[in-house]
Amino acid sequence: SVFVHRGGWIEVICGGMFSGKSEELIRRIRRAQIARMQVKAFKPAIDDRYHATGIASHNGLVADAQPVHSAPEILASVTPDINVVAIDEVQFFDEQVVEVCQQLADQGKRVICAGLDQDFRGQAFGPTPLLLAVAEYITKLQAICVQCGGPASRTQRLINGLPAAVDDPVIQVGASEQYEARCRHCHELLT
């Protein structure tokens, strides 16, 4: 009859640092590739900490990804043959990424986004909450709190070994900066 559903939807994988978002994104990419789907992955050009042209997880997995400077660049780079679009570190894009994901899903693509849902202060991070609102599927991962073993939903920022303050600049020249997984109770923020 007329009940022929169309493909195209948005999946979001969120959580704190070390929760396994990139690992999970790479797992989904691999499985789609095994099923002979055409997959194209993107990441913001500013994120080249581990890999210039790939998605890298903290446990060493890597998948190819095209670095882009803005969300519309993703739309322009997705050709009709692509079935699956993956975006890592989605929190670093601006709000335009929401409309880009919506358009791709409307075109029939499976869109998989991975990104931080909270910043180091525990506040909603960039476009991730907006994506969570429009996604069909949401996976929220937890790391393990390095202080108590509880569910680490937060990312602790340490500057020269001390908890960062609410208003510390995102980039601090000459300071040694470190991030670790912590639960809500162990997360500290200097005021």
54 marked ligand binding residue: no
**Residue number with CB closer to Zn ion (101 or 183):** 183
> In whole angstroms, how far apart are CA 124 and each of 17, 34, 129, 135?
14, 35, 6, 16
18 lies in the site for ligand ADP, by CB under 6 A: yes
**Stretch in the footprint of ligand ADP (CB under 6 A) among 54-62, 127-135, 161-169, 183-191:** 54-62
In the residue annotation, 89 being an active-site residue is answered as yes
- d(CA 176, CA 34) in angstroms, rounded, equals 41
* Active-site residue identified among 11, 23, 89, 180: 89
- d(CA 72, CA 68) in angstroms, rounded, equals 9
Nearest to 188 by CA among 129, 130, 123, 120: 120
**Secondary structure of 138-191 in HEC code, one letter for each residue:** EEEECEECCCCCCEECEEEEEECCEECECCCCCCCCCCCEEEEEECCCCCCCEC
181 lies in the site for ligand ADP, by CB under 6 A: yes
- d(CA 11, CA 114) in angstroms, rounded, equals 8
50 marked ligand binding residue: no
Binding to Zn ion by CB under 5 A, coded x per residue (else -) over 124-153, reads ---------------------x-xx-x---
- d(CA 147, CA 65) in angstroms, rounded, equals 34
**Residue number with CB closer to ligand ADP (32 or 38):** 32
Binding to ligand ADP by CB under 6 A, coded x per residue (else -) over 140-179, reads ---xx-x-----x---------------------------
Residues that bind ligand ADP (CB under 6 A): 15, 17-23, 57-59, 143-144, 146, 152, 181
Catalytic residue set? 89
Binding residues: 15-22, 88-91, 145, 148, 171-174, 179, 183, 186
